[in-house]
Amino acid sequence: MVEFWTVALGITLFLYVLLDGFDLGVGILFGLTTDQARRDAMVAMVAPVWDGNETWLVLTAAILFGAFPPAYSLMLSAFYVPLLLMLASLILRGVAFEFRARGGLARPLWDAGFTLGSIFATFVQGATVGALIVGIPEVDGRYVGGPFTWASPFAILCGIGLCLGYSLLGAGWLVRKGQGEIRDHAYRMLTPLLASVIVFLAVASAYSFWLDLPVLHRWIDRPVLAVFPIMGLAAVWTVVKGVAGRRDRLPFVGAAGIFASAFGALACSFLPYIVPFRMTLDQAAAPASSLAFLFWGAGLFVLPITLIYTASVYYIFRGKTVQSER
């Protein structure tokens, strides 16, 4: 059961990063243009799927709470402030998404809320990952830091980097779904965004070496992790090929590959820890009876149903978005 829920947690977290990542990225790019027709096209391209994408965040939190409660307690204590900021940003973004079309004179206000909500939610997610990499101060499973201990320079750098990464995903989605001018505009954004992501990865890696972060030692102990940078290079090449040949599917596939390689590298570097490098999966796991009880409900029904629902929605709304031509 521990292994099952570990895999389930990894799948739900990655699907949230990938799926909500591109629509948060579209929200960030939304703020880089003042053309209302272009903004309407961007919103139309994520409208059928954006709220369903956030389901995976709920499932991730639920699995963490139910299957690994000590880890949930420790991380919630460490990240109260950023998590509240993220939730407030997601609420602002959701309200702005629904109200902007009916906002009248207040439409610029809702447009700003949609952009700012996307930026802050993304930044907080990246900063949280950066803080986890640096390490959470704890004693006997209890958080012993302050409310802003998470906000280290490395965490802030990771927050900025995730904004760039989600923007790359968003641009890839606009190319995949868009037509005409909006598609051309997204293609123009892809190259500078890809270059920015590569620069961020180089700077973050160098900063990690300078800080001598514990996660780096895993790469010495586990040389098999080298497969993930190779995957990342292949993904970068996929984006480049897509942009050069105007092949609409490839930029998003390549951007998703970059995230998959980074996610896999971090996950395999952290194992067997769920809170690196403070609490292992076995230490954080709920009693076997609780894990089994969860399996018969969430494991057999909720997760498969959500997967089927998500796949069905993306299949139904496959193809180009007609509204992008307006």
Q: pLDDT digits over 296-315, tens only?
A: 888 888 888 989 999 999 99
In angstroms, rounded to a whole number, what is the distance separating the alpha carbons of residues 106 and 36? 14
Left (φ > 0), alpha (ψ -120 to 50) or beta: where does 179 sit?
A: beta
pLDDT over 60 (residue 173): yes
Query: How many other β-carbons are positioned within 10 Å of the β-carbon of residue 36?
Result: 11
Whole-angstrom Cα distance, residue 264 to residue 51? 25
Is there a contact between 21 and 165 (Cβ–Cβ < 8 Å)?
yes
Distance, in Å, from the CA atom of 211 to the CA atom of 217, rounded to the nearest integer, reads 12
Contacts of 17 (CB under 8 A, 6+ apart): 125, 259, 263
Assign 119 a pLDDT band (cuts: 50, 70, 90).
Answer: very high
Helix (H, G, I), strand (E, B) or coil at 273: strand
What is the arithmetic mean of pLDDT over 257-283? Answer: 90
Indicate if the pLDDT at residue 105 is higher than 80.
no
CA nearest to 129, candidates 275, 232, 255: 275
How many Cβ atoms sit within 10 Å of the Cβ of residue 120? 20
Relative to beta strand 142-143, strand 138-139 is antiparallel
Q: What is the mean pLDDT of residues 171-190?
A: 91
CA–CA separation, 109 and 122 (whole Å): 20
DSSP string, 181-222: HHHHHHHHHHHHHHHHHHHHHHHHHHHHHHHT-HHHHHHHH-
Rounded to the nearest integer, the mean pLDDT of the chain is 89
Ranges of each domain in the chain: 2-316
What's the residue count for the chain? 326
Compare 100 and 155 and report the one with higher pLDDT: 155
Average pLDDT for 145-150: 88
Class of domain 2-316: mainly alpha
Residue 164: both structure tokens together? 């760039």
Query: What integer pLDDT is reported at residue 121 of this predicted model?
Result: 94
Residue 95's H or E segment, with its range, is: helix 80-99
pLDDT value of residue 199: 95
What global pTM score does this model have?
0.92
Phi, psi of 320 (to 5 degrees): -75, 155
Are residues 248 and 265 in contact, defined by beta-carbon separation less than 8 angstroms?
Answer: no
Of residues 80, 169, 115, 212, the one with CA closest to residue 161? 169
